[in-house]
Amino acid sequence: MGFSPYQATSLAAAVNLNGPGRYLHWSIFSVSLANLVLVAVMVVIFGAALLVRFPDDHDRANGHAVHGDGARTPSGTAHRREKATGEGDPPAHVLAPEAGGEATASPEGDRTWTGAIRRAGLRLLPPGKLLPDRQPAYVASWIYVFGVATLAAFGVAIVSGFLIALGGPDWWHTNPVGHFFNSLHLWSVEMFMAFMVIHLWGKFWMAAWRGRRALTWLTGGLAFMASVVECFTGYLSQQNFDSQWISTNGKDAINATGLGGFFNLLNFGQMLLWHIVLLPIVLVAIVGAHVLLVRIRGVSHPLPQKRPRGRAARRAARAADAADWTGPTRVYDIAKEAVTATVVATALVVVLAAVLSSPDVPSVSIGTWARLAPADFMATATSELAGTSKTATYGPPYNNASGSTQRIGISWEKLAGVHVPVNPAQDFVLGPLEKIAPTTPVLASALRRYRAAPASTRSAWDAAYSKALDHVKFQGGSPVVPPAADGPVPTLISAELSLARGGALDTDLLANRSFYGTDFTKPLLFLEDGEYFAQQAQAQHLEGNQWGVMNETGSYPGQPWLWLYTLWYQVPGFDNSANVDLIAIYLTGAATILLLAVPFIPGLRDIPEVVPLHRVIWRNWHRRAGGGPRTRDSGLAATHEARPSEVRR
């Protein structure tokens, strides 16, 4: 006995979130309760990270005390000093062969390109920085945890994606085990994005770009942007109703930029490959660069409790931020932290997947549409035949019309041209009917008559039949349309309805050019032209005026990090503009550039100093170190003055 997706979900989940969602409205703002809960949880986690006491600076496991010079002194015994930063060029003998081994460097080799690259690498990132066992003592806040938590959740998302790949991209729709793997992937991605956003919040309020760390901030921002696109293509790859609706709505924004012919959201096969191959490579590269920059430059020093006054004081503060940290350090087990974070993230994901499962509202097919809303299907098929549908009048990249072409100064769609040619009358109606005409003489005769007629006559027939359809009735499932001067059109549309109800039209439109059948451009465009598809989306709260791009079906959280993009569709004046997609793209792009450029914009980069949330982050450090060392010369003195008991020991 097989299981439907809903049965599989109910078996796997202790809490069923597939029922109708709840939504809150205020002015132009609308948010699903699920998204609001997710954001609230993120804010609570961020607040807890700010306020919950971080473990004491002492290594309680072995009684080691943290000293201002970075040394550990167990039981009063003098030990040699350990340098925390691991900076400086390694001595020549560091690469000497060990017993039984072979030499890894030689004076001659030092003059080679390989030797030069090795020396540069060791100078930028010596082992002490790559895998440090100590860190500055001011790193004593839960805010610092979310960097490694983000990486851990990212790793779980990759592994869960591998698990889904075991059975292919669609097995999770019908197999309970596959559905559970999909649930693991969903919640790992939600956790990954949530932790990344919290990490971004923390780094902003710490002004983490200080001290020549602007490139670190840039790579972090780029990683966030790449993650958004990665998640978006993941939603498109689901091949369920949510992915259908997101693709048909998202295509308008991509088409407005002129990229729709090259990045086709309706081609689920293309989106799947972007999701599992191209974007992960880019994302891993950016994240890797970000982590290496953090290791090279280190974490930003604490901001002073009082903002520096005067040009000289600000210049001295900038120099101190860029200087190497020589103040007190604390034991830091980076390997243990990574393993612990991964174990915790995995456990949370497994619990969420087991308790809440994941959504999977079945996709809408043309056959379902024709069976459940035959009048709407017939009216849409007639508009395709007449050339009056949305697709027929859309414009690039599908045809040379201009009904949906957007322009703000320049039309990128027109410049890009037609790259995904679609002729609705031929592709959606006449072409499929011609394939069955040889076995249906009446249909063959109607097709010959329709094609032989002048364009003006065909238009008159289409218009007459479209008007008559307003009074269509169904007897035993068969349409009964009042007589009209509509020529052979009733025969054509009646045959189209029968073809669709039997599922043959879905097959024809999907397999028209592709053997593998992953390009859903034509069936989705046909569906979008009717009213039935939009009615299903409205019931699921997915339409644009419902902040739909943020939402998921049922009561599941969707993509709240896209709130800025969907905001522009709600702004009075923008919401009714014919260029709203281009407006949203431009304004979101400007906001993205602004985020990346924060380190370089006076005023904007000073917000963390004006709103001193950083005092909460570094409160333990300021309390224990009397404001904390900020320069190479004053660091040890300030710390020793603040903690004389440790100096004596």
Q: What is the DSSP string of 538-568?
A: HHTT-SGGGTGGG--STT----GGGHHHHHT
70-83 pLDDT, tens digit each: 444 443 333 333 43
Q: Give yes or no: residues 293 and 383 share one domain.
A: no
Single-letter amino acid, residue 362:
P
Whether residue 229 has pLDDT greater than 60: yes
Contact 377, 370 (CB under 8 A): yes
181-211 pLDDT, tens digit each: 999 999 999 999 999 999 999 999 999 999 9
Q: What pLDDT was estimated at residue 511? A: 60
Q: Give yes or no: residues 210 and 272 share one domain.
A: yes
Q: What pLDDT was estimated at residue 623? A: 84
- Domain assignment present for residue 553? The answer is no
Q: Which of 275-289, 452-466, 512-526 has the lowest mean pLDDT?
A: 512-526
Question: Whole-prediction pTM value?
Answer: 0.81
How large a percentage of the chain has pLDDT more than 90? 61
Rg (C-alpha) for the chain, rounded Å, is 31
CA distance 482 to 480: 7
Q: What pLDDT was estimated at residue 109? A: 56
- Domain assignment present for residue 455? The answer is yes
Q: What pLDDT was estimated at residue 413? A: 95
Read off the pLDDT of each residue in 445-453 and give the average, rounded to a whole number.
Answer: 96
Indicate the pLDDT class of residue 390, thresholds 50, 70 and 90. Answer: very high
Whether residue 637 has pLDDT greater than 90: no
Q: Give yes or no: residues 371 and 356 share one domain.
A: no
Q: Which residues pair with 267 in a beta bridge?
A: 519
Q: What pLDDT was estimated at residue 314? A: 85
Q: What pLDDT was estimated at residue 77? A: 36
**Is 410 strand, coil or helix?**
strand
End position of a domain, from candidates 504, 538, 572 = 538
Q: What pLDDT was estimated at residue 60? A: 43
Token digits of residue 429: 């109606």
Q: Give yes or no: residues 372 and 424 share one domain.
A: yes
- Domain assignment present for residue 281? The answer is yes
Q: Give yes or no: residues 336 and 400 share one domain.
A: no
575-631 pLDDT, tens digit each: 999 999 999 999 999 999 999 999 999 999 999 999 989 999 999 888 877 644 444
Residues in CB range of 130: below 8 A, 6 or more apart:
86, 295
Contact 294, 452 (CB under 8 A): no
Whether residue 293 has pLDDT greater than 50: yes
Q: Give yes or no: residues 236 and 278 share one domain.
A: yes
- Domain assignment present for residue 116? The answer is no
State residue 35 phi and psi, 5-degree precision.
-65, -40
Indicate the pLDDT class of residue 483, thresholds 50, 70 and 90. Answer: very high
Token digits of residue 585: 């793209």
- Domain assignment present for residue 349? The answer is yes
CA distance 110 to 124: 17
Residues in CB range of 498: below 8 A, 6 or more apart:
none
Whether residue 298 has pLDDT greater than 50: yes
Q: Give yes or no: residues 497 and 609 share one domain.
A: no
Return the exposure string of 25-55: e unless at least 16 CB atoms fall within 10 Å of the residue's CB, then b.
Answer: eeeeebbbebbeebbeebeebbeebbeeebe
- Domain assignment present for residue 529? The answer is yes
* Average pLDDT of the chain, as a whole number: 85
Q: Give yes or no: residues 179 and 234 share one domain.
A: yes
Contact 549, 249 (CB under 8 A): yes
H or E element, residue 349: helix 334-356
- End-to-end Cα, the chain, rounded Å: 73
What range does the domain containing 274 cover?
5-58+141-361+599-632
Whether residue 255 has pLDDT greater than 80: yes
Query: In whole angstroms, what separates CA 158 from the centre of its chain?
Result: 14
pLDDT higher at 477 or 594: 594
CATH assignment at residue 346:
1.20.810.10
Q: Give yes or no: residues 162 and 246 share one domain.
A: yes
Q: What pLDDT was estimated at residue 20? A: 82
Q: Give yes or no: residues 510 and 612 share one domain.
A: no
- Cis? peptide before 5, omega within 30° of 0: no
Contact 506, 367 (CB under 8 A): yes
- Domain assignment present for residue 345? The answer is yes
- Domain assignment present for residue 567? The answer is no
Q: Give yes or no: residues 316 and 371 share one domain.
A: no
Indicate the pLDDT class of residue 642, thresholds 50, 70 and 90. Answer: very low
Q: Give yes or no: residues 337 and 373 share one domain.
A: no
Contact 217, 599 (CB under 8 A): yes
25-78 pLDDT, tens digit each: 888 888 888 888 888 888 999 888 888 887 765 444 443 444 444 444 443 333
Token digits of residue 316: 């001295």
Other beta carbons within 10 angstroms of residue 459's beta carbon come to 15
Structurally, the chain folds into a number of domains equal to: 2
- Which residue has tokens 């030499």? 103
